[in-house]
Amino acid sequence: MEFKPVEMDLTYEGGMRFTATGQTGVRIPIDAHRHLGGGGETPNPIDYLIASLGGCVGIKILLSLSDNGIVPESLTIGVRGTRRQSLPAVFDNVHFGITLAAPVDDARVREIMDRTLAYLCPISAMFAEVGELTYEYRIVRNR
């Protein structure tokens, strides 16, 4: 697999707003947080960062389950992060709360989560360079 460069163009829209346009043409609105002068009507960069982290982890979990022939009935991922109180205010801890409805055992979920956070998800690997990543999970067994 070849990992190609990623390109994104950002256009200033006025106030504290930008529109990012990706290689596929998808447009992503970005605004500053309210305390920085943004309107609070669209996500700010930190919102997108955490959403990207959760999305990457979720996709890698689904791929790992699929590799084992498992299709979950549902998967929810809560992401909670704390940041250093000095600049740069990087995330010093990110905790994932996973709820999974699938025919899978605890050991397999632990293995998937450990592999996903350590190296399958490049975004979580970057976060791990500056802070601690932790998780807890709950497997729902529908009858």
Report, as an integer, the average pLDDT of 57-74. Answer: 96
Average pLDDT over residues 41-62: 97
Q: What pTM, to 2 d.p., does this model score?
A: 0.92
25 pLDDT exceeds 70?
Answer: yes
How confident is the model at residue 92, as a pLDDT?
97
DSSP string, 68-97: TT---SEEEEEEEEEE-SSSS--EEEEEEE
Which CATH architecture fits 45-140? 2-Layer Sandwich (3.30)
The count of residues in the chain is 143
Rg of the chain taking only CA atoms, in angstroms = 17
Q: How confident is the model at residue 141 (pLDDT cuts 50, 70, 90)?
A: confident
For the cut 80, the answer to whether the pLDDT of residue 142 exceeds it is no
Residue 143 pLDDT grade (very low, low, confident, very high; cuts 50, 70, 90): low
pLDDT digits (tens, 9 = 90+) for 91-103: 999 999 999 999 9
DSSP 99-141: EEESS--HHHHHHHHHHIIIIISHHHHHHHTTSEEEEEEEEE-
pLDDT of residue 1: 82
In this prediction, residue 111 has a pLDDT band, given cuts at 50, 70 and 90, of very high
Contacts of 50 (CB under 8 A, 6+ apart): 79, 81
Output the CA torsion sign for 137, 116, 78, 128.
positive
Average pLDDT, the chain: 95
